[in-house]
Amino acid sequence: MTSPVLSDPEKTGIDRIEDPLLNKGTAFTPEERQKYRLLGLLPPHIDSLEEQVVRAYDAFSAEETDLDKHIFLRELQDENETLFYRLLLEHVAEMMPIVYTPIVGKACEEFSHIYRRARGVFVSYPDRELMDDILSHVDREIDVIVVTDGERILGLGDQGAGGMGIPIGKLSLYSLCGGIHPARTLPMLLDLGTNNAERIDDPRYIGWRHERIKGAEYDNFIEQFVEAVMKRFPNVLLQWEDFASVDAERILKKYRDRLCTFNDDIQGTAAVTSGTILAAIQSAGGKLADQRFVMLGAGSAGVGITGQLVGSIVASGKSEAEARDMFYVIDRNGLLHDGRTDLDEVLMPLAQKQANLAGWDCDTKGSISFADVVRNAKPTVLVGATGQQGAFTEAIIREMASHTERPVIFPLSNPTSHAEAIPADLLKWTDGKARIATGSPFDPVEYNGKTHVISQCNNSYIFPAMGLGILAAKANRVTDGMFTAAAEALKECSPALADPTAPLLPPLSKIRDCARHIGIAVARQAQQDGVAQTTVAEELEKRIDQTMWTPQY
């Protein structure tokens, strides 16, 4: 796919070199140097893109810390986007953790100190009446927006304006993994203040120094934002990212039928986790209908994963009530059950019936602990989405492993320092039997003479492919069925289906192939759900391939 931006004849001289979407640096040809008035502005040697990648990789490797490497890549992105993405594409396994999780968390915390150059759009609360004017400053058409309000960045909490690192990183993965042209993407930060005293007290903090706006004022601001986006970019895909759980579900419910939108923390995390769990179960010879699930964490991720899996179980033939009985969801106050009076409308559907707890060897009237649930429910699948380091203790994991031959254990919290457990411990505590996927990257683990490659259950397997499928199909809405199709397609990409000893997810070097497969499934489902124009299969695949951009001059 070639963007019309790249044929812009208007920018010449230093203006062309300073535009990262147009700049080729030392790769401008002699003819281009004449045409665009670049003679003398560049050294005389002419590089190929391949030679530039080698030079850039040498410079990347010379950086001493991961944060310095992140800064280097961000500066390269701001100088030459084609080179940036080609470098990432050739070193995807090494560089994706630097561009996004886990290093992006540290970059968000340090955002005000490492800020170099404008990228994306900041809309601050004091400028709320100028939203239309602000968006008019974006002088190109946009296909995908990723937006955050910075309140719940990964497992790090409120980072205020520093949260902009997340949309920038997410959209980098849209282009890297899904082939969405970077010229058609826009990161956005809604700056409604911050309750992080460390940020406000920092003399370098670049955001609005004010406590967070909440309540009716917050809701009105979000409404103004959505209306401004729909006016300026009526066909855009809008992804909500890292909003507080109390706002995320509500915002998604309010706007999902008004424009093409989804929440990656709820739906993307749910799809990648569900697809990976399905692969783990099938590769071990099990059946989905026979599983018992414990979800530790009832925030956006936990709610989304549970809902997605319930949908998959219903699709396999069980009733919704039967499917929900298979789940034990735990928040900070213990197991969700219908005897509790503190559950809101989001959590109540996830509550276990107290009648199902009859015979448990604990008090089932009040608070039921994580350990009590594992001991009595005897789960086959355990998922952590708490942000609490070490929440999966040795005693609990050994208890789980005593009741199931192939325990499926997913500590999903990130960054790495917030993981519920580390894979080496999980393998030790289960005698090497656990099927593991994590939210952050971990090195392979040697246990009893066998190397276990730990798959990162990363949303990058899903959201770029969702964007690819949505844009190729020209979908005008995002349905639950499209995420179910994405999860099923991800399962089909699992190496473990052919070899039970293989990793649950394909290597990052294959992520573009995986994105294409998932994108086709998403696009077909969009057509089946009536939110996209129907085409023959060959035409749909042709559109997918036309949408996928490859970084080359």
CATH, residue 13: 1.20.1370.30
Note whether residue 513 is domain-resident. yes
Q: Which of 228, 259, 290 is the last residue of a domain?
A: 259
Q: Which residue has the tokens 């519920």?
A: 420
> How many folded domains does the chain comprise?
3
Least confident of 19-33, 110-124, 215-229, 304-318: 304-318
Q: Which two tokens stand for residue 511?
A: 């992520």
Check the annotation: does 414 bind a ligand: yes
Q: What is the mean pLDDT of the chain?
A: 95
Q: State pLDDT tens for residues 361-420.
A: 999 988 999 999 999 999 999 999 998 999 999 999 999 999 999 999 999 998 888 999
Residue 542 sits at φ, ψ, to 5 deg, of -60, -40
- In terms of Cβ atoms closer than 10 Å to its own Cβ (0-12, 13-18, 19+), residue 110 is middle
Instruction: Report pLDDT for 349.
Output: 94
Residues 183, 292 within the same domain = no
Question: For residue 22, what are the domain limits?
Answer: 1-47
Check the annotation: does 458 bind a ligand: yes
Q: Which of 229, 259, 289 is the last residue of a domain?
A: 259
| Identity of the residue numbered 314 | V
Residues 96, 172 within the same domain = yes
Instruction: Report pLDDT for 3.
Output: 45
Q: pTM of this prediction?
A: 0.93
Give dist(CA 247, CA 144) in Å, integer: 21
Residues 184, 253 within the same domain = yes
Q: How many CB atoms lie within 10 A of CB 24?
A: 23
pLDDT at 1 over 80: no
Note whether residue 200 is domain-resident. yes
Residues 316, 404 within the same domain = yes
Active site residue 170: yes
Note whether residue 539 is domain-resident. yes
pLDDT category at 360 given cuts 50, 70, 90 is: very high
pLDDT at 345 over 80: yes
The catalytic position among 85, 170, 174, 461 is 170
Check the annotation: does 333 bind a ligand: no
Q: How many CB atoms lie within 10 A of CB 495?
A: 19
Least confident of 4-8, 35-39, 55-59: 4-8
Note whether residue 91 is domain-resident. yes
| Identity of the residue numbered 429 | W
Active site residue 474: no
Per the model's pLDDT, the better-predicted residue between 297 and 245 turns out to be 297
Q: Which two tokens stand for residue 162?
A: 């520093």
Distances (CA, A) of 217 to 220, 222, 505: 5, 9, 43
Region 43-72 average pLDDT:
98
CATH number of the domain within which 207 lies: 3.40.50.10380
Q: Which two tokens stand for residue 91?
A: 């070193």
Residues 118, 175 within the same domain = yes
Residues 368, 245 within the same domain = no
Task: Return the closest-CA partner of residue 353 out of 328, 372, 378, 390.
Answer: 328
Residues 226, 374 within the same domain = no
Give dist(CA 260, CA 479) in Å, integer: 9
Q: Which two tokens stand for residue 533?
A: 């124009």
CATH number of the domain within which 427 lies: 3.40.50.720
Instruction: Report pLDDT for 2.
Output: 40
Q: Which of 238, 259, 280 is the last residue of a domain?
A: 259
Instruction: Write the DSSP symbol of residue 268.
Output: I
Residues 244, 389 within the same domain = no
Region 226-251 average pLDDT:
96
Q: Which residue has the tokens 């535009």?
A: 19
Check the annotation: does 394 bind a ligand: no
Check the annotation: does 448 bind a ligand: no
Residues 7, 110 within the same domain = no
Note whether residue 206 is domain-resident. yes
Residues 254, 279 within the same domain = no
Note whether residue 352 is domain-resident. no
Q: Which two tokens stand for residue 490?
A: 């991800």
Region 27-51 average pLDDT:
97
The catalytic position among 24, 36, 69, 100 is 100
Note whether residue 381 is domain-resident. yes
Residues 87, 104 within the same domain = yes
Note whether residue 344 is domain-resident. no
Residues 86, 28 within the same domain = no
Check the annotation: does 212 bind a ligand: no
Instruction: Report pLDDT for 335.
Output: 98
Percentage of the residues of the chain whose pLDDT score is greater than 70: 99
Region 191-197 average pLDDT:
98
Give dist(CA 371, CA 368) in Å, integer: 8
